[in-house]
């Protein structure tokens, strides 16, 4: 048996699945393929250029008919970036720049002896704002109420001045201090009666007593609020009515600082914060302070008419809880502290015969309610004016005449 010859064929040529091709025929096929590809590429470029010319013809008239918009204004290969400007943000910046030069820090230093006979020095801080260019500054009464304390005012530019307490408001948490300086920047006062809930506001103050002229923003959350404000120790308290509520952050040290609208006008004086909540702060409306400002400019001290009663504002809830026959008015009631009587002895109310548990319903025909507090209505009149009060006393209504006196 002769050996069998075995032929190994190339896997690319001569396989049963693919017919064998000679080298000459392969070259012709390759040339034809390249020609077809190049021709298609060239025709594609020509077709694309023709389409662009057609679309831009007559300022894109043909393109518009085909539903392609703004073709005539296209800029091929160009990108543009637009800067988004937030008007509210700019307004906050402008308001802050306008009021900040007139905002001051008020630093208090006092020395006392503790139970062990050791001398201890304490320091506190608050805020105020300049109301006259010769150095009158408005702040909260509780910021400068300690008569044994030395006060220093630090201006926005860093200068420091010894300060004297010019006057304390007897009916509101307001005070005026004086520094020996001239040509100072003065705030512009707005109209707090025109405020609406939801309006943007800015608070400026000496936050925590160490961050001077801190700016926070928020909105007016409510108006005509009533609160009982107390100091950090809880030893002293004061009933405040007709307040503005805001969610602009108010921290310790902000007391006495301005609450400002987006026009940079002061519309309130920051005075209290709800310690058991977030975003609930209160400010005295600037219109309440305007009479005090006018008084101190004219007489050198804050002079106000007063009635001489301690009261709570009656609401529907208070009326239901206490089974009252009316859901408005001012209920004359004593305070919880020592000496906080319902009616001040010798006051106009005392002389008119008003007693504890009486309800003052109206002043000169104007109803006393949550929108028109007793203290705010009284401030509409002058010392020496005679007003008529409608009183609900022991179930009977009666009118009494009261002559307003200067608060003591």
Q: Is 308 left (phi over 0), alpha (psi -120 to 50) or beta?
A: left
Structure confidence at residue 47 (pLDDT) = 60
The DSSP annotation for 340-407 comes to --SB-TTSHHHHTT--TT-EEEEETTEE-BTTB-HHHHHTTS-TT-EEEEEEEETTEEEEEEEE-EE-
Provide mean pLDDT across the span 308-325: 90
Query: pLDDT tens, 160-171?
Result: 999 999 999 878
Q: Please give the share of the chain, as a percent, with pLDDT higher than 90.
A: 46
Q: How far is CA 236 from the centre of its chain?
A: 27
Q: For residues 207 and 213, give the distance between their C-alpha atoms in angstroms, rounded to a whole number.
A: 8
Span(s) in the chain for CATH 2.30.42.10: 305-406
Structure confidence at residue 163 (pLDDT) = 95
Structure confidence at residue 32 (pLDDT) = 57
Helix ranges restricted to H, 245-347: 286-299, 316-321
Provide mean pLDDT across the span 226-248: 73
Q: For residues 63 and 49, give the distance between their C-alpha atoms in angstroms, rounded to a whole number.
A: 14
Structure confidence at residue 68 (pLDDT) = 47
Query: pLDDT tens, 85-121?
Result: 556 678 899 999 999 999 999 998 877 777 777 777 6
Span(s) in the chain for CATH 2.40.10.10: 193-288
Token digits of residue 282: 């209160």
Average pLDDT over the chain reads 80
Structure confidence at residue 115 (pLDDT) = 72
Token digits of residue 70: 């703004």
Domain 305-406: assigned CATH number: 2.30.42.10
pTM across the whole model: 0.68
Provide mean pLDDT across the span 30-54: 58
Are 286 and 190 in contact by the 8 Å Cβ rule? The answer is yes
Residue 1 clears pLDDT 50, i.e. is over it: no
Catalytic residues, which ones? 142, 173, 255
| Better-scored residue on pLDDT, 9 or 158 | 158
Structure confidence at residue 258 (pLDDT) = 97
Q: Please give the share of the chain, as a percent, with pLDDT higher than 70.
A: 74
* Dihedral sign, Cα of residue 66, residue 72, residue 77, residue 80: negative
Residue 203 clears pLDDT 80, i.e. is over it: yes
Domain 193-288: assigned CATH number: 2.40.10.10
């Amino acid at each position: 048996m002769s050996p069998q010859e075995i032929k190994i064929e190339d896997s690319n040529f001569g396989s049963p699945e693919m017919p064998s091709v000679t080298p000459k025929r392969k070259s012709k096929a390759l040339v034809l393929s390249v020609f077809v590809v190049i021709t298609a590429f060239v025709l594609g470029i020509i077709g694309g250029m023709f389409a662009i010319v057609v679309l831009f013809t007559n300022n894109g008239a043909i393109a518009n008919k085909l539903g392609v918009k703004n073709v005539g204004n296209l800029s091929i290969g160009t990108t543009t970036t637009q800067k988004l400007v937030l008007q509210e943000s700019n307004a906050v910046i402008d308001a802050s720049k306008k009021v900040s030069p007139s905002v001051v820090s008020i630093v208090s230093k006092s020395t006392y002896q503790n139970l062990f006979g050791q001398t201890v020095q304490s320091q506190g801080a608050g805020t105020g704002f300049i109301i006259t260019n010769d150095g009158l500054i408005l702040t909260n009464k509780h910021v400068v109420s300690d008569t044994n304390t030395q006060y220093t005012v630090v201006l926005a530019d860093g200068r420091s001045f010894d300060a004297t307490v010019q006057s304390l408001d007897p009916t509101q948490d307001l005070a005026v201090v004086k520094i020996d300086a001239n040509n100072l920047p003065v705030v512009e006062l707005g109209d707090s009666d025109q405020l609406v809930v939801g309006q943007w506001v800015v608070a400026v103050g000496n936050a925590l007593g160490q961050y001077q002229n801190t700016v926070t923003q928020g909105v007016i959350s409510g108006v005509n609020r009533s609160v009982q404000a107390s100091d950090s120790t809880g030893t002293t308290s004061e009933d405040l009515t007709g307040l503005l509520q805001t969610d602009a952050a108010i921290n310790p040290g902000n007391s006495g600082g301005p609450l400002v609208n987006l026009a940079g006008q002061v519309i309130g004086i920051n005075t209290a914060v709800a310690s058991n909540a977030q975003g609930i702060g209160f400010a005295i409306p600037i219109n309440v302070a305007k009479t005090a400002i006018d008084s101190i400019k004219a007489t050198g001290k804050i002079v106000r008419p007063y009635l001489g009663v301690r009261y709570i504002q009656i609401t529907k809830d208070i009326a239901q809880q206490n089974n009252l026959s009316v859901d408005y008015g001012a209920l004359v009631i004593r305070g919880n502290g020592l000496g906080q009587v319902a009616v001040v002895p010798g006051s106009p109310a005392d002389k008119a015969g008003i007693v504890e548990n009486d309800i003052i319903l109206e002043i000169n025909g104007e109803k006393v309610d949550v929108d028109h507090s007793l203290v705010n209505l009284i401030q509409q009149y002058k010392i020496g004016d005679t007003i008529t009060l409608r009183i609900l006393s022991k179930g009977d209504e009666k009118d009494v005449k009261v002559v307003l006196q200067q608060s003591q």
